[in-house]
Amino acid sequence: MKSISRTVIMSVSRVLFVLYIILLAYFLFFSERYGRTIISDDYRYNLVLFKEVRRYILYRKEIGYESFIVNIFGNVLAFAPFGFVLPIISAGNRKLINITLLSLEFSLTIELIQLIFKVGIFDVDDILMNTLGGILGGICFLICHKLIKSIKKLR
C-alpha cells in the first residue's frame, strides 16, 4: 500500500510540476496581459537591487494597486510551488540550500531568456523575489514533511 501511494504521489507531483512550468512559461514569455507579446528593439534590464521594488512602493497609487501587488508579491507566490514540489519529485533536493540554489538558477535562466529574446525585462529584483518564493515553498515543504513523518510515527 505504501509503495502504491508513494508512486501515485510522485506521478501526480511530476505532472503538476510540468503543468506548473508550462503555465509559468506562458505568463513569463507569452501573456498578452503582462505585455509579453511586445518584443522590444532594445535590451531592457535593471541591475540595481530594489530599484523596481522601491519604484512600485513609492508610486503604487499612480501605477495601480493590482500592478503593485502583482509585482511585489506575484514573483514570490509564482515561485513558491517550485520550492515546494521540487523536493517531492527529487529527493536529493530536500535541503533548503539545494532548493535555494535551484530556485536562483531557474530564476536567473528565466531572466536571461527574457533578456536574450527581448521579452520582458531582465530584473535583479525579480531574481531575488523569485528565489525568495522558492525558499518559502521549500520551507513549507520541509514543515509539511516533518509533520507527516511525526504523524506516521504516532501510528
With a pLDDT cut of 90, the percent of the chain lying above it is: 69
The contacts of residue 81 (CB under 8 Å, 6+ apart) are 20, 137
Q: In terms of pTM, does the model score above 0.85?
A: yes
Q: Tell me, what's the pLDDT at 33?
A: 75
Least confident of 1-5, 115-119, 150-154: 1-5
Query: Residue 37 above 50 pLDDT?
Result: yes
Grid cell in block for residue 125: 529584483
Opening angle at CA 57, ends 27 and 63, nearest 5: 60
Mean pLDDT over each residue of the chain, to the nearest integer: 91
- Long-range own/partner contacts, residues 123-126 (CB < 8 A, 24 or more apart): 123/45, 123/46, 123/52, 124/46, 124/47, 124/48, 124/49, 125/46, 125/49, 125/50, 125/51, 125/52, 125/53, 126/52, 126/75
Nearest of 143, 126, 124 to residue 84 by alpha carbon: 143
Query: Residue 55 above 70 pLDDT?
Result: yes
Q: Tell me the average pLDDT across 75-92.
A: 96
Q: Tell me the average pLDDT across 135-141.
A: 98
Instruction: Give the DSSP letter of residue 121.
Output: -
Q: From CA 47, how far away is CA 21, in angstroms rounded?
A: 25
Instruction: Give the DSSP letter of residue 13.
Output: H
Instruction: Give the DSSP letter of residue 46.
Output: E
Q: From CA 138, how far away is CA 143, in angstroms rounded?
A: 9
Q: From CA 118, how far away is CA 144, in angstroms rounded?
A: 39
Instruction: Give the DSSP letter of residue 50.
Output: T
Least confident of 30-44, 55-69, 131-145: 30-44
Banded pLDDT at 53 (limits 50, 70, 90)? very high
